[in-house]
Copies of this chain bind each other. A is one copy, B any other.
């Protein structure tokens, strides 16, 4: 309650209707209800009971809004394994959690892949945790980011794949007989999930092998 340098304006103090938190929350609500195509500045303003132009007093652009959403999504990703569990176990559950989050927000993937993380506090915190966990697990400093980026690339690619329809590889059998057979030979229901699990297990096995070779 320190006295403000400038005199208080008269009338009601008129607390702002909007804020980063409110805008982000409304955007999440909109996306969960009607998907990313419904996320327009006009629809967002409507959700907040405000004119579209009012948004621009709080957010620079729609792109910045997407970065706020990135940070919001990243906040939910599970990094708890780093610290108490072995690095490979922690990496595995992080990757699973990461993929699941962006399978629901796949439109963000192309944006976050090319945007500096500095402005996103939760995102920075996530990378700090992962980097520290890998270092503690014995990875040399000059390879930590390569491991992180490699896993992340696989995770984000898999998140996009998770949004694909089940029949994406269906094809007339006479055009591509081998493809038709191996596509038909896939068992179970969630093909995208199976491919992710195989890839992740494979990559972890390869990483363990590599770290062992480095140590020995």
> Which A residues are closer than 8 A to B by beta carbons?
106-107, 109-110, 113-118, 121, 124-125, 127-128, 131-132, 134-135, 141-158, 160-161, 163-165, 167-172, 175-179, 181-183, 185-187, 191-192, 194-196, 198-199, 201-207, 209-210
Contacts and interface: CB of A to CB of B under 8 A. Distances in A.
Contact of A195 (B146, B186, B187, B209): B146
Given A128-B176, A179-B124, A161 B201 contact: no
A67 to B, nearest CB: 13
Contact of A171 (B124, B135, B156): B124
A185 B148 CA distance: 14
Nearest to A198: B146
27 contacts: A106-B110, A114-B160, A114-B163, A114-B164, A114-B168, A116-B165, A116-B170, A118-B170, A118-B171, A124-B175, A127-B169, A127-B171, A131-B179, A141-B181, A141-B185, A142-B182, A142-B185, A144-B185, A145-B183, A148-B195, A149-B192, A149-B195, A153-B195, A153-B199, A156-B160, A205-B210, A206-B209
A121 B174 CA distance: 13
Nearest to A163: B114
Copies assembled: 2
Contacts of A144: 182, 185
A182 B132 CA distance: 9
Given A117-B171, A203-B206, 6 more contacts: A127-B171, A131-B179, A145-B186, A146-B198, A153-B160, A201-B206
A134 to B, nearest CB: 8
A171 B165 CA distance: 38
A135 to B, nearest CB: 6
